[in-house]
Structure 1
């Protein structure tokens, strides 16, 4: 039986602004891209669907940043400014926790200082491509209705590659043969526990033992979480973040599946916390302060670029002349099939530190489009490594710097001089 359809009347869509660079998605990659672009002298617009900047850092309450230790420029600046706010706790390793609410305000301030035009509550729903294959407009929906945003260059930092897909770019999703994707996780902020009393259950950045201890306590309370390595992170004072669930088999590209994953995850988190509270002792007063507004998505579209970061790159520890990010984080595949385990692993593969080249950030099928964050061009194994947010910031910074140079010079990113980009990135590093 065919599905009923409604034929939407054609309409004229107002072109709200003409910018040099339009960045779609205001998560770690998108914010970095917008700031780098604006600091590079480009008129820059940042479009974000949520009610704050930061994406998984803020509306997703991630609260834990990975692979930031070797990143210069904007990542180092963010760390320094969080420290000045006393909004960050370093771990025994290089990873760290931060206060999500302080992060929201900090990212807004940095965009304002750079001169970025920010539009919240604005979702990209379509794209206009000229006959020659040049992306010319990003189409959005918001309380203001349907609007178009024109620019010389666009950056897709939506995580799921929404702009690129709507512009007609090819993409990959999930494992090569099965299509299975890594599960989603809904973060929660919890309070009512004493940092000293729960220190043995709290992640310190290098030791996995706290996860096993926390799992044991949850099981003692009659709750076996869907994620076999539940993690508790100390944010500040008596505030903690908890990751304890996996939502298997849900596609980030289907709203109904994201919805069901979110509803299921929230119920599970409350059951887990209620169970811990029933144990008494150090858990007697634990409560959920907030669950994330947006479930954490590990895997969406991987847009085809002019270079594909591959498993072989990781194994070889590859270097590139047009490198924009050196990834040190290893292969991290959260179970794609709960029947084969509910934790995480590396599929028996090993990696060395490796480069992401600018070419992997430039769309192959549409001109005038760059990507930043987890939607760049890579295979399943490589994506499991570079997807973490310390790398997202570095990729966004590079995409924004390149877009600004290309827009001002009126050239496509693939025609840029590598030395010019290196100089632009160096200037960003020197602003700290």
Structure 2
């Protein structure tokens, strides 16, 4: 084994060596190199570690800490909120009727003037609100940190995980782990089985890059029919989406998304979703990089073209594009139960149901030739429940799941993946993980009635 000083010398020497060039269309690896074995600093041993600080991870960490477990939340970006903040989603879907942390968060956002409509919010105030709630509960938050490996015991439990950050490569231990990364990164690193994409084809839903705009007035968007009404009624209308798409085409841009949507954040600040990046796997860094660059190019072209038409658009400017392109679909980790299309059709109810989903099956066109919009895939769902068993990993005993990486099929995922459901999923996972950690049990041994 290399001593630390020798490893640093070796690293410094290899850093000067020329690296093979990877073309933009590279299929992947240019070969392999050995990584020297080394001892890692163990940062922490705790009760519960949550990986991913988005809607599901925030809720999981908060509920675990409030349940008495010593809890650490590890997040890739420089803020909490994930798709809400780093991706600037700006809209909370399927939050109606949710109690617990979802309602508490909505009340808190409203009290702090972060929420302009019942579901549309100011991303900056969302960041601050989530951080303050975690701080008050005693959650230890580590930002700017990516999970890169996980190692199992002979009994198929995660022994420790490994991260990379400004502090280098570090190890972390917990009694129970929760994967709320969206893409199921921790579970995959730990060796869990998973599915991806449409059955048979593995085609995935497209990605979208959100953009914040200035130069538009809410009253004008209402008068022109792009949104339903001012203030609490400021959601996009179906006719408004079609009208905006027609305007973009008239401006000379062949838009990739045929149902673009405005979300009013303030009377003079508007969020816009106006692009689709098709055929991009959330497991392919090269593809996501290209998709992000292409998406940013498209939204800039759209804004520039609209501004050139004058009138309503004369002062239109991009304030910022999202730091993270919005990913609708990644890994679906195998759990103790897999939620299916048939469960949605029959409106399944479960003894261990942790969340009722009312959002439709929402499948955005998988290829551009399918129309560039969205549909239900022919599935007529009824309100249904997500069972706790779908939040417990099948292949690793001390791992739970929360958010869109839980165990479900392609069609079920297209319904439950929205953030109004991610929060109660996270809340449930956090409570069960805390109970399991504090009573020295596995998550599958904790009854939902206990928490």
TM-score by length of 2: 0.91
Alpha-carbon shift at residue 279 of structure 1 (Å): 1.2
Residue 45, structure 1, aligned to residue 69, structure 2: no
What are the equivalent positions in structure 2 for 1:100-249 lying under 5 Å apart?
Answer: 100-199=123-222, 200-202=225-227, 204-205=234-235, 207-249=237-279
SS at match of 1:190: strand
Instruction: Quote the residue 1:322 is aligned against.
Output: 352
Q: Partner residue of 1:264?
A: 294
Equivalent-residue separation in structure 2 for 1:265 and 1:202 (angstroms): 24
Instruction: Describe the superposition over 1:116-160 as per-residue Cα deviations: whole angstroms up to 9, x where unpaired.
Output: 000000000000100110112121000111111100000000000
Give the Å deviation of 1:89.
2.6
Q: How does 1:64-83 map to 2 (within 5 A)?
A: 64-83=91-110
* Aligned 8 A contact 1:215 1:224 in 2: no
Q: Is the 8 A contact 1:192 1:286 kept in 2?
A: yes
In the alignment, the residues of structure 2 paired with residue 241 and residue 362 of structure 1 have an alpha-carbon distance, to the nearest angstrom, of 35
1:356 to 386, 392, 395: 386
Specify every segment of 5 or more residues in structure 1 that has no aligned partner in the other structure, as ranges.
422-432
- Aligned partner of residue 250 in structure 1, secondary structure: coil
Deviation at residue 206 of structure 1 after TM alignment: 7.4
| In structure 1, distance between residues paired with 2:328 and 2:389 | 23
Deviations 1:279-338 (A, max 9, x none): 111110010000000000000000000000100000000000001010000100001111
Is the 8 Å Cα contact of residues 432 and 448 (structure 2) preserved in structure 1? no
Any idea what SS the aligned residue of 1:68 has?
coil
Q: Distance in 1 between matches of 2:128 and 2:84?
A: 12
Would you say 1:15 and 2:42 are equivalent positions? yes
Q: For 2:267 and 2:65, how far apart are their aligned partners in 1?
A: 36
Quote the Cα distance in structure 1 between the aligned partners of 2:113 and 2:32. 54
Could you say what the CA RMSD is over the residues aligned between the two structures, in angstroms?
A: 1.2
Residue 207 of structure 1: how far off its partner (Å): 3.4
Deviation (angstroms), 1:184: 0.3
Tell me the alpha carbon deviations over residues 381-424 of structure 1, each in whole angstroms, 9 at most, x when there is no partner: 00000000000001000000110111001100111122112xxx
State which of 294, 300, 308 in structure 2 corresponds to 1:278: 308
Regions of 4+ moved over 3 Å: 203-207
Separation of aligned partners in 1, 2:165 and 2:366? 34
**SS at 1:318 equivalent:** coil
Per-residue deviation, residues 361-380 of structure 1 (Å, max 9, x unmatched):
00000110000000000000
* Residue 3 of structure 1: how far off its partner (Å): 4.3
Q: Secondary structure of 1:89's match? A: coil
Q: Give the 3 Å change call, closer, same or farther, for CA 365–66 of structure 1 in structure 2.
A: same
Q: Relative to structure 1, is the Cα distance of residues 329 and 97 closer, same or farther in structure 2, using a 3 angstrom cutoff?
A: same
Partner SS for 1:86: coil
Q: Which residue of 2 aligns with 1:33?
A: 60
* d(CA) in 2 for partners of 1:222, 1:97: 30
In 2, the alpha carbon distance for the partners of 1:45 and 1:264 equals 36
**1:87–1:236 CA contact under 8 A, matched in 2:** no
Query: Could you say what secondary structure the match of 2:312 adopts?
Result: helix
The residue aligned with 1:384 is: 414
User: CA deviation digits over 1:76-105, x for unaligned, max 9?
Assistant: 0111011111221336xxxx2100000000
